[in-house]
Amino acid sequence: MARPAARALSGAPTPDEAARAIPAADNARNEVRNWYAHLMGERRMSEATLVNYHRDVTRFFEFLVDHLGGPADLDALAALQTRDFRAFVSQRRNEGLQSRSIARMISSVRSFFRFLDRSNILSNASATTLRSPKLPHAIPKPLSVSGADAMIGEAEALPGEAWKGLRDAAVLTLLYGCGLRVSEALALNRNTAPLKDTLRITGKGNKERIVPVLPAAREAVERYLALCPFGLTGEDPLFVSARGKRLGQRQVREAMQTLRLRLGLPDTATPHALRHSFATHLLAGGGDLRAIQELLGHSSLSTTQMYTEVDSARLLDIYDKAQRRR
């Protein structure tokens, strides 16, 4: 059953573009389009997740071309055995894919087969037997307060057009000052400014939350808009590129890389690290864990609890250094 086309996102293919890239029989390619439109429209997945899921499923169908001797159709997908899925995972691991990427790839393929099952297209129980590799328990690596402040200040001082530096500083301020994800900050439209005391954010899983807006964030956005050369109104994007289009996550990552090099910060100083910094610094200042969970939009408190490990690790590091000085 055909489904309506979903809105295209900057940097992510449209459903039709996503389907055309798949080396498969027409009936399988059409279901990839429907699955992708579902992720984009109903699930409202972020641009980065859409790109990754599409890439993973494309690699899966490329594998099947060689593995089966030709493009797979729906009957071939239904007939796949556990050994076929394991062969795909094994090939990707031999190509150098790390455990975290393997886990995401398995999640992508499972998502596609789960969609086929729920849509009554086909059912393949073997797809559910795929097990993700165990991942190392990673503790978030936030910036220090001074590091976060320096990064935002340096963004404003970057050479080039002044409005771009103010734009980047405003985005980073929203990540650090409001705990937004990059995708959430870039999804804001012009009609949200001037920012009020709170922002209504739609996050992962289409879940809404209210976050307070610090005066510094409000002022950063106003400084950017005062110099922005585009006449943005209403549903226009709040943050735009040099061509007046919605700013993409890749451009924010590239700006952060430039700032890291200028400030001598580690590779862990990423856009998402500013969100980690928001949570860690709130917790260190006596913030309530449950309140921080709400501000971040975490579905589970256990996800937010990882920030208590950051604080414990920091205290242990201080203790260790003190012992070495004795």
Residue numbers annotated as active site? 181, 204, 272, 275, 298, 307
Write out the E strands in the chain. 198-202, 208-212
**For residue 295, how many C-alpha atoms fall within 13 Å in the half-sphere facing its CB?**
24
CB 306 within 8 Å of CB 139: yes
Identify the CA nearest to 233 among candidates 187, 186, 190, 193. 190
Which residues make beta-bridge pairs with 199? 211
Which residues make beta-bridge pairs with 68? none
**DSSP code for 281:** H
CA distance 49 to 108: 9
* Centroid of chain to Cα 224: 24
Amino acid at 251: Q
Coil, helix or strand at residue 24? strand
